């Protein structure tokens, strides 16, 4: 069954590890509430994530011409790549709330811009949030997935 009216948001568990005193690993686990992107937003997001790699690939495949001294010289091409998206932009645009985040006094820390900034000062937390959000779109579900070339044309 497929119901068009899906929730405009979803919760995900974020796991992250930081190094504590004497090198022990401290596991951080909390929940994040994300805004669900539309298909068009997801496509644009993927475009911006891979823009730098695509631009580099285009540069490496640029046509060349023989130079006056016999060396191969690249032909000047004008590549205008998409503006790459930053982790901060993804968090700003898609993170709506969090749960199980505690302050210095072990009391629940409400989701506010100031508290988010505090959390981002913990090494790797912003990246862990973004990674968990993107896992929903970059990793294909195992069920009902076939690579494009393996799909039936019937």
Task: Note whether 108 and 48 are within 8 A (CB).
Answer: no
pLDDT tens profile 119-139: 999 999 999 999 999 998 777
Residues in the chain: 154
Distance between CA atoms of residues 91 and 132, nearest Å: 11
The structure tokens 């968990």 sit at 132
DSSP letters, 59-78, are HHT--EEE-TTS-EEEPP--
Crossing angle for the helix pair 87-94 and 113-120, to the nearest 10 degrees: 150
Predicted local confidence at residue 27, as pLDDT? 95
The structure tokens 């645009």 sit at 93
Distance between CA atoms of residues 109 and 35, nearest Å: 20
Q: What is the pTM of this model?
A: 0.71
Q: Token pair of 58, please?
A: 């285009």
Distance between CA atoms of residues 141 and 143, nearest Å: 5
Q: In what order do the strands lie in the sheet with 9-19?
A: 9-19, 25-35, 95-99
Q: Which of 101, 100, 97 is nearest to 34 (CA)?
A: 97
Distance between CA atoms of residues 93 and 37, nearest Å: 10
Predicted local confidence at residue 14, as pLDDT? 97
Handedness of CA 124, 91, 49, 42 (dihedral sign): positive
Predicted local confidence at residue 153, as pLDDT? 47
The segments of the chain whose pLDDT lies below 70 read 5, 54-82, 140-154
């Amino acid at each position: 069954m497929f119901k068009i009216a899906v929730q405009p948001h979803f919760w995900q568990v974020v796991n992250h590890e930081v190094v504590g005193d004497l090198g022990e690993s401290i596991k951080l686990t909390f929940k994040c509430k994300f805004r669900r992107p539309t298909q068009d937003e997801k496509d644009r997001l993927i475009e911006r994530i891979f823009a730098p790699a695509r631009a580099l690939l285009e540069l490496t495949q640029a046509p060349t011409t023989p130079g006056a001294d016999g060396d191969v010289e690249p032909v000047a091409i004008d590549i205008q790549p998409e503006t790459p998206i930053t982790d901060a932009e993804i968090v700003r645009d898609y993170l709506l709330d969090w749960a199980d985040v505690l302050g210095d006094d072990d009391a629940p820390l409400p989701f506010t811009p100031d508290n988010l900034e505090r959390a981002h000062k913990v090494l790797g937390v912003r990246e862990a949030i973004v990674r968990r959000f993107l896992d929903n779109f970059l990793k294909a579900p195992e069920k009902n997935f076939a690579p494009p070339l393996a799909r039936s044309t019937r």
